[in-house]
Structure 1
Amino acid sequence: MSILVTGASGFLGLNILEQLLAEGESVVAVADKPLPLLATSVFSELPGRLTEAVCDVRQEDPIRRLIAGEQVTHVLHAAAITSNVARERTESGRVVSVNLGGLAAVAAASAAEGVERFVFVSSNAIFGGATPDYVMLDEDYPKDPGNLYALTKWQGEMILDKIGAATGLDWVAGRLAGVFGPWEHRTGIRDTMNPVFQANGLAFAGRPAWLPRPGHSNWHFSRDAAASLITLLRAPAHRHAVYNLGTPYLWSIGDWCERLAALFPDFSIAIGGDPGEATEINLYGDHDGGVLSWERFTEEFGPTGLYDLDAAFAHLMEWQARHQRFGFEEGGA
């Protein structure tokens, strides 16, 4: 098996690369920029074979040449611009071009070169921001994408359905929720960092933080998110085209911050009331919204996650200490 991963220099892409290489796979990492130096160093110690390629995912011919030249059998497409409203005011064409044009080009190249499995990284954003708090979002819950990023993820699933029907490409989409964990860093492609990343940056800098509410969700640890997508990539067969990849671990950013405060004495967290001089942690909106389901995937393949709150906290704090707090600018969140 030879695997091509797009968006490889991004947060999720690095987690996917690390797991595949640790398991001895041959991986072609495609991105718009080289991998971070730390990742290159860490990955060089792993048993798998890594080939890097800097190219534009919107260009089908270079992707075809990579697939053919590296004898790629499986493709995991994670490349996307995770845009906010401000970016969509000024770069809407680029967001749509990369997110949909890139998907179509990579999928078409995969189909033309006989790729055996194509996995698309989709998102819970397709359900929109108006879902009631803690309602279970199964795969068929009504869609209401609230921005271009969300719309491109939903339309991306539709595009793959048509490409698959026309070409026979075996595709599957895995929808992720709020992913956090090792390798998160500012790439210029993701506009709003995960609240855990924001909180960690404030704790490392010894600055007070403020939450408008605790912020409950089934936040998805990046190790588990990558593992679920890799499961979809390798599965001999799949009963469905789309899987929600939520986990059963529901906890709040307030819970995370309490653990940070116990570890970093100069850090404090306030929830509600007057923020004063504290820095607000962005919780992606004015309410928590729905909880992404996990039942379909779990019934067919097993758990979507192994890291509960405490296990994820311990792992990430140890990882950050070992890697010089990778991803954080001095004093930044």
Structure 2
Amino acid sequence: MKIVVFGGTGFVGLNLAEVLLARGHDVTLYDRAELPPSARRSLADYGARLKAVQGDITDADAIDALIAGGCDAIVLGAAITAGDELERASTARVLEINVMAQIPILLSAIRHRVRRVVNLSSASAYGAAGARVEILDEETPCDPVSFYAISKFTSERSVARHAELFGGDFLSVRLTAVFGPWERPGSVRDTPSLQYQILAAFARGEPAIMPEPGMRDWTYAPDAAEAVAILVEAERPRHRLYNISNGGVWPALQWGEAFAALHPGLECRLAAPGEKTAIKLHGPARAALAVNRMADEFGWRARFGCAESAAAMSAWLAQHKEWI
């Protein structure tokens, strides 16, 4: 398939590119940011099957020309992943990029008969509901609170409504607590995972001091990318919304301890009473996402748990020493 990934040079986009290319597809990454040199080197063996196009997600003419050139599937991954600080500074921009910029892409996909569109949404769409239930499945009523959560929930509804009106084969996925290779904070992402912050502390030669254990259904990025790839390829998905999650809850502290155990001299621990820490939590704890739909329909389950992802990330960093 010929697949265009919008937001393709970002964190999830690069993980998805690796998986799609490995599965034999041609991939075009459309993003305002250029393909990082380390990613270009890592993906060089795929040759002409990988293209990177620099452009703005609001440039409807450029995007229409790209899709008109031939495209079997689109992944909507361009987004501003905003915490409170970025929301205060760029409220309108969050809604513009996360919702409004998708509409010309969807209409172009309809005009040019793109077979499949997958919208990358977020578990944040559940909002306050995440504190009221023990497990979040796709039927759980949402109660989004932050502008980021509101934007992701709205993007799902917009994608679904376009499909209803125009007959497009569109679906959304809710990604939760993703961490791993190619993650980096930046001007459109100010909520780095606890795992990234742990690794950044190690890179500074400091102990990773945690304000609390950091319980989440942490999901290793290659696992999430594999699930999205399955949905891109699926002939006739039964649903229009899927959770993507590790399916179980475990503490980031345990992950940091597992990583440190592989590298003598590193330390990850809880802060002592009154001790300051540079590591920040982003958002309240929430229930784990149910993954029954992905498991029952496609046989997909995350392969990397806490220890496995720590070992895999250690191996990845050995090949990408400059990344953090």
TM-score by length of 2: 0.94
**Which residue does the alignment assign to 2:102?**
103
| Amino acid in structure 1 at the alignment position of 2:20 | L
User: In structure 2, how many angstroms separate the alpha carbons of the residues matched to 1:153 and 1:104?
Assistant: 14
Ranges of 4+ aligned residues in structure 1 off by more than 3 Å: 263-267
User: In structure 2, how many angstroms separate the alpha carbons of the residues matched to 1:222 and 1:282?
Assistant: 20
- The answer to whether the aligner puts 1:292 opposite 2:279 as a matched pair is no
- Superposed, 1:272-311 pairs within 5 Å as 273-276=272-275, 279-285=277-283, 287-311=284-308
Q: Deviations over 1:189-237 (max 9, x none)?
A: 1111011000111123221233232122220100010110111110001
**Which residue does the alignment assign to 2:157?**
158
Distance 1:304 1:109, change over 3 A: farther
Cα distance, 1:173 vs structure 2: 0.7
Q: Deviations over 1:10-32 (max 9, x none)?
A: 00000011111222311111001
Cα distance, 1:133 vs structure 2: 7.7
- Equivalent pair of 1:21/1:47 in contact (CA under 8 Å): no
SS at match of 1:259: helix
**Which residue does the alignment assign to 1:313?**
310
| Amino acid in structure 2 at the alignment position of 1:116 | R
Cα distance, 1:279 vs structure 2: 2.4
Structure 1 range deviating more: 300-309 or 234-243 = 300-309
| Amino acid in structure 2 at the alignment position of 1:60 | A
- Equivalent pair of 2:176/2:219 in contact (CA under 8 Å): yes
Cα distance, 1:311 vs structure 2: 1.6
Q: Deviations over 1:150-195 (max 9, x none)?
A: 1111001111122111211100111100001111123321111011
- Superposed, 1:227-266 pairs within 5 Å as 227-266=226-265
**Which residue does the alignment assign to 1:78?**
77
- Superposed, 1:1-333 pairs within 5 Å as 1-46=1-46, 49-69=49-69, 71-129=70-128, 131-132=130-131, 135-271=134-270, 273-276=272-275, 279-285=277-283, 287-326=284-323, 328=324
Cα distance, 1:73 vs structure 2: 0.9
| Amino acid in structure 1 at the alignment position of 2:15 | N
- Equivalent pair of 1:204/1:264 in contact (CA under 8 Å): no
Tell me the number of residue pairs that the alignment of Structure 1 and Structure 2 aligns: 324
| Amino acid in structure 1 at the alignment position of 2:19 | Q
Cα distance, 1:141 vs structure 2: 1.3
| Amino acid in structure 1 at the alignment position of 2:290 | S
SS at match of 1:232: helix
SS at match of 2:131: coil
State the Cα RMSD in Å: 1.8
Cα distance, 1:82 vs structure 2: 0.4
| Amino acid in structure 1 at the alignment position of 2:224 | A
TM-score by length of 1: 0.92
SS at match of 1:314: helix
User: In structure 2, how many angstroms separate the alpha carbons of the residues matched to 1:30 and 1:190?
Assistant: 17
User: In structure 1, how many angstroms separate the alpha carbons of the residues matched to 2:274 and 2:23?
Assistant: 46
SS at match of 1:45: helix
| Amino acid in structure 1 at the alignment position of 2:89 | T
**Which residue does the alignment assign to 1:331?**
none
Distance 1:102 1:304, change over 3 A: farther
Structure 1 range deviating more: 116-125 or 204-213 = 204-213
User: In structure 2, how many angstroms separate the alpha carbons of the residues matched to 1:42 and 1:211?
Assistant: 32
SS at match of 2:78: coil
User: In structure 1, how many angstroms separate the alpha carbons of the residues matched to 2:158 and 2:124?
Assistant: 17
| Amino acid in structure 1 at the alignment position of 2:225 | A
Aligned-pair identity (%):
32
Distance 1:250 1:47, change over 3 A: farther
Distance 1:6 1:192, change over 3 A: same
Unaligned runs of 5+ in 1: 329-333
